[in-house]
Amino acid sequence: MNESDALLILNAIPQLRNADIHRLVQYYGSAQKVLAIGSQALIADQAVSPGSAAAIAQFPHEAFLKNEETLIRQGSIKILTINDADYPLPLRAIADAPVVLYVRGQVPENMSLAIGIVGSRQASFYGITIAQQFAARLAEAGLTIVSGMARGIDAAAHHGALHAKRTGANTVAILGCGLSQIYPLENAKLYEEVANKGALISEFPMKTPPLAYNFPRRNRIISGLSLGVIVVEAAARSGALITADCALEQGREVYAVPGKVDSPTSKGVHNLIKQGAKLVSCVDDILEDLRPLLLAGLNSLEESPNTVAIAQISTKILSETELLVYNAISDRPVHIDELADRCDTDPLDTNAVLLRLELKHFIKQLPGKLFVRQ
């Protein structure tokens, strides 16, 4: 049994929280030693409660691992543990980081550029439309869309990202059940689309059913992976508000899309705004607010084109639209509205392209929404 196997076993013991596992591993030096130490030693060391110590000893280690590994292999699942280099850095930083992640599909290479979109399961046509539009625009700007695969706003966010103009892995679904389960069943087709074009992620063992108390745990992962969380429609006691609370606790931004004043699914969103969440009415509001956070991660992105001959700039480096906008910019500052006119593009689309060019070090923004080449 290796360390990853031992973490899989500890993660599957219902009586243990992530905080317990982190503490045990830190105290004994490894998950393997925790499983080998014995319940009496665990109790003597006051490492866990007697009930938890008994649960560790009585759990069917080998039988569970054998069955789990079969399901993992059959489902083409990748296991990421907290010790792995490719475990998402933003999630590693939260207080209750999952010790194990089950992954089906391809996690986007740069999860530091991710935003969560959550909201009501009983979403209105307005809410679904907004969630799809925001997700598509943000995905086109180069962000990864994170949501929870629930019906309503979550599903709309995944759909919007999947149908964005940019290709590649750009959406991640965090599940409140194991990856062997599809919940809700109406999202079965979406489940497969996300697995093929993005990633499905769960911290729960493969056969874990979608129990109610799993979803608040799922919500902290949605916010933990994201720079911020956008709430699109939420009733006064919506689960989306739990995600917003998690985001605040984790130091993430919270954005709220206002709705109709007499709509029950707007009450939670409007309460968030009253409590200080940032009101957003368009994608541009979010991109402008996130720009400093996005640009802070430049070192992990492409080299500056100053090290590349301009003649080498091609569609392998820039998309056709990015190249069009880049060619309209020179060493003389030019305003975003003038760029939109020159390129005959929608101002919102232009802003998304400009952000991508800025992230790739091709241009920089000056005060007043002016842009110049780097």
CATH number at residue 367: 1.10.10.10
Choose the weakest-confidence range: 101-110, 162-171, 270-279, 315-324. Answer: 315-324
pTM of the model: 0.82
Asked, for residue 82, whether it belongs to a domain, the answer is: no
Other beta carbons within 10 angstroms of residue 74's beta carbon come to 10
Q: Which of 258, 293, 328 is the last residue of a domain?
A: 293
My answer on whether 279 and 340 are in the same domain is no
In a domain, 78, yes or no: no
Residue 85 lies in a domain: no
92 inside domain:
no
For position 296, what pLDDT does the model report? 62
Which residue, 293, 316, 347, sits at the end of a domain? 293
User: Inter-axis angle of helices 320-327 and 336-343, to 10 degrees?
Assistant: 120
- Per-residue pLDDT, averaged over 309-337, amounts to 71
Does residue 350 sit in the same domain as residue 251? no
232 shares its domain with 288:
yes
Q: DSSP letters of 161-226?
A: HHTSSS-S--EEEE-SS-TT--SSGGGHHHHHHHHHHSEEEESS-TT----TTHHHHHHHHHHHT-
Q: How many CA atoms lie within 13 A of 61 on its CB side?
A: 15
Residue 258 pLDDT exceeds 90 = yes
**What pLDDT shows up at residue 168?**
60
If pLDDT is split at 50, 70 and 90, which confidence band does 301 have?
very low
Distance of CA 76 to the CA centre of its chain: 21
- Give mean pLDDT, residues 283-303: 68
In this structure, the answer to whether residues 173 and 191 fall within a common structural domain is yes
pLDDT tier at 169, thresholds 50, 70, 90: low
Mean pLDDT for 215-222 is: 96
Do 160 and 181 have their domain in common? yes
pLDDT tier at 94, thresholds 50, 70, 90: very high
Q: Is 81 part of a structural domain of the chain?
A: no
Q: Residue 302: is its pLDDT beyond 50?
A: no
Which residues form the domain of 350?
A: 302-373
> What pLDDT does 113 receive?
85
Q: Any idea which residue has 């429609």 for tokens?
A: 233
Dist. CA 152–CA 173, nearest whole Å: 14
Supply the CATH number for residue 135's domain.
3.40.50.450
From 293, 319, 350, the end of a domain falls on 293
Same domain, 158 and 245: yes
Contacts of 251 (CB under 8 A, 6+ apart): none
Instruction: Considering only residues 14 and 302, tell me which one the structure prediction assigns the higher pLDDT.
Output: 14
Mark whether 128 and 169 lie in a shared domain.
Answer: yes
207 touches 174 (CB < 8 A):
no
Look at strands 199-202 and 171-174 and give their pairing: parallel
What does the mean pLDDT of the chain come to? 88
- pLDDT range class, residue 156, cuts 50, 70, 90: very high
Share above pLDDT 70 across residues of the chain, in percent, rounded to a whole number? 92
User: Is residue 207 pLDDT above 70, yes or no?
Assistant: yes
Mean of pLDDT values over 208-232: 95
120 in any annotated domain: yes
- Give the number of domains in the chain: 3
Are both 311 and 182 inside the same structural domain?
Answer: no
CA 233 to chain centre: 19
Please give the biggest Cα pair distance in the chain. Answer: 75
Same domain? For 322 and 275 the reply is: no
- Identify whether 339 is part of a domain: yes
Q: Are residues 337 and 249 in the same domain?
A: no
- Checking if the pLDDT of 312 tops 60, the result is no
If asked whether residues 210 and 231 sit together in one domain, one would say yes
Q: Could you tell me the end-to-end alpha-carbon distance of the chain, in angstroms, rounded to an integer?
A: 52
Same-domain status, 64 and 168: no
